[in-house]
Structure 1
């Protein structure tokens, strides 16, 4: 039975995969994904109108029948809430008081034999009490590692509010969409992803054996882009690149905000990069070893990655060769939910060389691209992506930036971060993304203690 099915389907499947590899090689699209995305937008709009209509009817029925259980009706989002952007709506408006700041070493002061006497006044610490209460209600860090809020339902079970049973039309669309995503799209996506990884293994193994460097570099770059175009196609990715005149061309650092492991695949469909990161096993390990056969990527063991001097030295060696492609780096060091940009690590900004900023913004209506590594494994995340509608995003290339004379690496990193946040419509935060895994640094607490003491002294002098 299985052999008979293979005899029937191997020709169309083989032709489909061959055609997919061909259009990936020439970087062309026949418009299927664009039409698919436009169709989804029309379906989402129809669902939104249907849900709002049913919600108003339920509210009208509840007014006429006060005894009806309110929980049975579908809650309608207020117009004020619907106007909130998807950039992480906040519950409260706060005045930033407790923020980590880079502290310059203060000059040593002569030790005074006279002790400063401070009369404590509770009113002077109310700002800190207010900030603490605000952090308990809603802090700026935790909300950045949760799924982005949607203004309307996108017909996915994991993001619904029990809307799929609001009417028979919506139920029919939801059931049909479930069938399309899990029975048709998912097997095809798994097949295309497997072909992409297999292509990477085979093509890079062949390219690595070529004796001529110029030919090897050209074919390695082509194989690199075809590989990630196939992988991005397996997620039904629809990518819009803007400002292509600023696309990285020479050796340096391409710096981008980080939402998902798919960021690498998204950016690599349009440009060749050298990747840097820790060695992995499993699926990622296979892909890493395949890419490293023909391209100058930088992979570290777990212990080596903690050695900053070793990492900096290898980065300098890489950018010193003009034939090497730019290094793709995500300075946040962790995935953020695409509503904000958090603190950039200064390592890549200390090495020197040109920085190519890139802003990435995903459309959450078609699927949540954010990877919560504390909640989902890599395979679980890939499963969620392959059962989503699509991956739709915008990528902006920004003008290259250079470190100014007298500018510290921290200031340079913050300047690049602010440019990326502004272009992508993201919130620029000063907090370290690693706070989701560790406690605040001791220096931050000490800095706030010093600041509080200085405020007390200044108010005492005024009196």
Structure 2
């Protein structure tokens, strides 16, 4: 009896997985994911209207009877407006003059002390005091390493507002969604992910025995597209590619970095070589599997800090026209899908063509940002598989070349600004490594020199 029940369950599931692999192999879509996303959008909109209506009713009931009606209505509208935006708008506007200029070299010598008398007024340092208070109120850097705030509640984001209990209809929808995500979608996604990883490992091992040449590259492109297509099903990924005529075919491809899923998103459409530090665990399994089928550059922790070794390996890879384009994330760390931070200049010193790519995730369906300082890879995968879906847009931008007389830093900043503009992201000058370390001494010296020059100019 039990075996009969198990066969009734496993046969349809096996048929579904086989159909999923076949669809991924021929790179086709039957439109189920897009229909699922459109349904979610309608539910989110219904929830938004219901929450706003309930909030207005609660505000009206709690009004002071002595308050003027027009003023009371205005207060309700203001409260709803703040609640709907969920604090997305910045609280303060900073003066750009106090931001560090990355393209300026650090002074070789500290500001020398002088015996010249300088008339100092306390008001001359008020701009710096103001900047310090602003940083305490709203840190423009630390906020980039936290989950992106949403304009509307997506019945998923953890919040202390308890929107799920604002009305019985919203409560019912939230309970049904919770059941679907944790009881139906999550086990299915875990199974699909397991099948995808095993399939990737087996296929890359088999392809690794082929002789290098054009035929092997065609097979690798097909196999990796199929395997990553299956893995994308494990997170219900809906990816829209724009300007495919600019898709890189060689050279260096640079993109903004939000998550390890960035690699999956791009590999579903084309094959890339990857560069990065060797990892253990789940990422290590994927790295070793990919290395069997195509050329990648993996470094040990100590080697990754050797800039000359990294540059030399990059030049060797780019110089071979048979190698696929190499994918690089110049930020060096994951940013929360709201901005682009400083690009490291190393990949822009190699020479040749640079293919910029902008990636923007839709946060309404799930937060794709990986806070590696807070969550392990397995915790992050758990969050992805319990979200609604991963929806994103990818823009292939026209190739860019280093201009005559242009420094590598200026070239990196120019590419970064193009990516930020296309993706609707904020272009920041700050180094993403501030996530893990203190500000560089050179940046402090730049501010000290700027402050000293202000005092001198004001005293003359």
Fold shared by both chains (TM-score > 0.5): yes
Distance 1:311 1:113, change over 3 A: closer
Q: Could you tell me which residue of structure 2 aligns to residue 271 of structure 1?
A: 270
Q: Could you tell me which residue of structure 2 aligns to residue 416 of structure 1?
A: 415
Aligned Cα root-mean-square deviation (Å): 2.4
Q: Could you tell me which residue of structure 2 aligns to residue 146 of structure 1?
A: 146
Q: Could you tell me which residue of structure 1 aligns to residue 71 of structure 2?
A: none
Is 2:181–2:387's contact at 8 Å kept on the other side of the alignment? yes
> 1:418 Cα deviation (Å)?
0.3
* Aligned equivalents of 2:236, 2:261: Cα separation in 1: 12
> 1:107 Cα deviation (Å)?
9.7
Q: Could you tell me which residue of structure 2 aligns to residue 30 of structure 1?
A: 30
* Aligned equivalents of 1:61, 1:346: Cα separation in 2: 58
> 1:84 Cα deviation (Å)?
5.2
Q: Could you tell me which residue of structure 1 aligns to residue 435 of structure 2?
A: 436
The answer to whether 1:334 aligns with 2:333 is yes
> 1:98 Cα deviation (Å)?
2.7
> 1:421 Cα deviation (Å)?
0.5
Correspondences of 1:377-388 after superposition (within 5 Å): 377-388=376-387
Q: Could you tell me which residue of structure 1 aligns to residue 42 of structure 2?
A: 42
Cα deviation digits, residues 403-439 of structure 1 (max 9, x gap): 1111111000000000000011111000001111111
Is 2:106–2:445's contact at 8 Å kept on the other side of the alignment? no
Q: Could you tell me which residue of structure 1 aligns to residue 130 of structure 2?
A: 130
Cα deviation digits, residues 212-266 of structure 1 (max 9, x gap): 62221111111112221111111001111111111112x2111111111111111
Correspondences of 1:21-420 after superposition (within 5 Å): 21-63=21-63, 78=79, 80-81=81-82, 88-101=88-101, 102-104=103-105, 115-156=115-156, 158-159=158-159, 161-211=161-211, 213-249=213-249, 251-420=250-419
* Aligned equivalents of 2:445, 2:420: Cα separation in 1: 29
Is 1:153–1:160's contact at 8 Å kept on the other side of the alignment? no
* Aligned equivalents of 2:395, 2:258: Cα separation in 1: 15
TM-score by length of 2: 0.93
What SS class does the counterpart of residue 62 from structure 2 fall into? helix
What SS class does the counterpart of residue 232 from structure 2 fall into? helix
* Aligned equivalents of 1:223, 1:85: Cα separation in 2: 43
Structure 1 runs (4+) greater than 3 angstroms displaced: 1-6, 75-86, 104-108, 111-115
* Aligned equivalents of 2:113, 2:98: Cα separation in 1: 32
* Aligned equivalents of 1:3, 1:283: Cα separation in 2: 33
- Where does structure 1 lack aligned partners over 5 or more consecutive residues? 67-74
What SS class does the counterpart of residue 419 from structure 2 fall into? helix
Distance 1:441 1:217, change over 3 A: same
Cα deviation digits, residues 156-196 of structure 1 (max 9, x gap): 15246201111111111111000100011001111111111
What SS class does the counterpart of residue 392 from structure 2 fall into? strand
Is 1:315–1:351's contact at 8 Å kept on the other side of the alignment? yes
* Aligned equivalents of 1:107, 1:38: Cα separation in 2: 58
Number of equivalenced pairs: 450
> 1:62 Cα deviation (Å)?
1.5
